[in-house]
């Protein structure tokens, strides 16, 4: 498994790269965003570990460039940014997970294993192929597109899985734990607010002004998908 680590903090990058290599991974290191993007363009990686604040090109911009060129390599952000809005911004750019600095090495290694396992299809959630319909929404799982009221909604891979999970459980209360396990598995739970940010981003996409909301918060418990009861 090949990992690209992009972080300008040498005192963090050197021991982290060493620890990843001890786990059996092949690790390339870049210390600025432009250098990282050049490596992404020249070879294939199984995981990108990116600092948010980088010289020359931010980790956010690097992630966006990768997604724009069709690169679906999982992205783990290492960042001091911990607000919900920051997480929404990162997820919207195509990130898969966050780890807030400072962090424990064992937690990072667990998140790395979880992301690599999913991308390698060692762990397969419910099949996400074909089309699903619920309420006035249609989901094309294969192409990561949804349709509502004549408009096309572009989705990330994680958003497609989340929306499919909701649509397959129309009207049911899905707890935070159930959704987390479906999206991230049991190896490493997401850091605080990542699930809330993912839900907020999906909610913003599937329900625009004038449309009935489809994702409803059940406070203290989880979420329910579908039109609100009369």
Query: Per residue of the chain (230 residues), what is the pLDDT tens digit?
Result: 889 999 988 888 899 999 999 888 889 999 999 999 999 988 888 899 998 888 888 888 999 888 887 788 889 988 887 677 777 877 877 888 888 888 888 888 988 888 887 665 434 344 455 788 888 899 998 888 999 988 999 998 888 989 999 988 888 888 888 888 787 766 556 655 788 888 998 999 999 888 889 999 988 888 999 886 54
Q: Give the pLDDT of residue 125.
A: 42
Q: Where are the alpha helices (DSSP H) in 120-208?
A: 157-167, 176-184, 194-206
Q: Give the pLDDT of residue 190.
A: 63
Q: Which of 101, 120, 124 is nearest to 49 (CA)?
A: 101
- CATH number assigned to the domain covering 131-225: 1.10.10.10
Q: Is the fold of 2-119 the same as that of 131-225?
A: no
Sign of CA dihedral 196, 202, 208, 212: negative
- pTM for this model (two decimals): 0.60
Q: Give the pLDDT of residue 121.
A: 44
Pairwise CA distance, residues 201 & 206, whole Å: 9
Structural domain boundaries in the chain: 2-119, 131-225
Paired strand residues for 223: 174, 217
Q: Give the pLDDT of residue 189.
A: 62
CATH superfamily, with its number, for domain 2-119:
Response regulator (3.40.50.2300)
Q: Where are the alpha helices (DSSP H) in the chain?
A: 10-22, 33-42, 59-68, 84-93, 105-119, 157-167, 176-184, 194-206
Q: Which of 13, 59, 52, 17 is nearest to 35 (CA)?
A: 59
Pairwise CA distance, residues 97 & 115, whole Å: 8
Q: Give the pLDDT of residue 9.
A: 87
């Amino acid at each position: 498994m090949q990992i690209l680590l992009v972080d300008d903090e040498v005192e963090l990058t050197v021991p982290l790269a060493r620890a990843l290599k001890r786990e059996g991974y092949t690790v390339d290191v870049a210390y600025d965003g432009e250098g990282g993007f050049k490596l992404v363009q020249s070879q294939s990686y199984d995981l990108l570990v990116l600092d948010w604040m980088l010289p020359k090109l931010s980790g956010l911009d690097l992630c966006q460039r990768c997604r724009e060129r069709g690169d679906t390599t999982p992205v783990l952000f290492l960042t001091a940014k911990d607000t919900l809005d920051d997480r929404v911004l990162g997820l919207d750019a195509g990130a898969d997970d966050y780890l807030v600095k400072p962090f424990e090495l064992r937690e990072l290694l667990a998140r790395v294993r979880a992301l690599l396992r999913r991308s390698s299809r060692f762990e397969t959630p419910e099949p996400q192929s074909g089309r699903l319909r619920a309420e006035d929404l249609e989901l094309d799982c294969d192409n990561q597109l949804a349709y509502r009221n004549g408009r096309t909604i572009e989705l990330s891979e994680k958003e497609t899985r989340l929306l499919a999970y909701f649509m397959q459980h129309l009207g049911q209360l899905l707890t935070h734990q159930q959704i987390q396990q479906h999206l991230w598995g049991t190896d490493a739970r997401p850091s605080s607010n990542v699930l809330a940010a993912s839900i907020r981003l999906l909610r913003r996409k599937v329900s625009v002004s004038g449309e009935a909301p489809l994702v409803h918060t059940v406070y203290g418990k989880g979420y329910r998908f579908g039109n609100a009861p009369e």
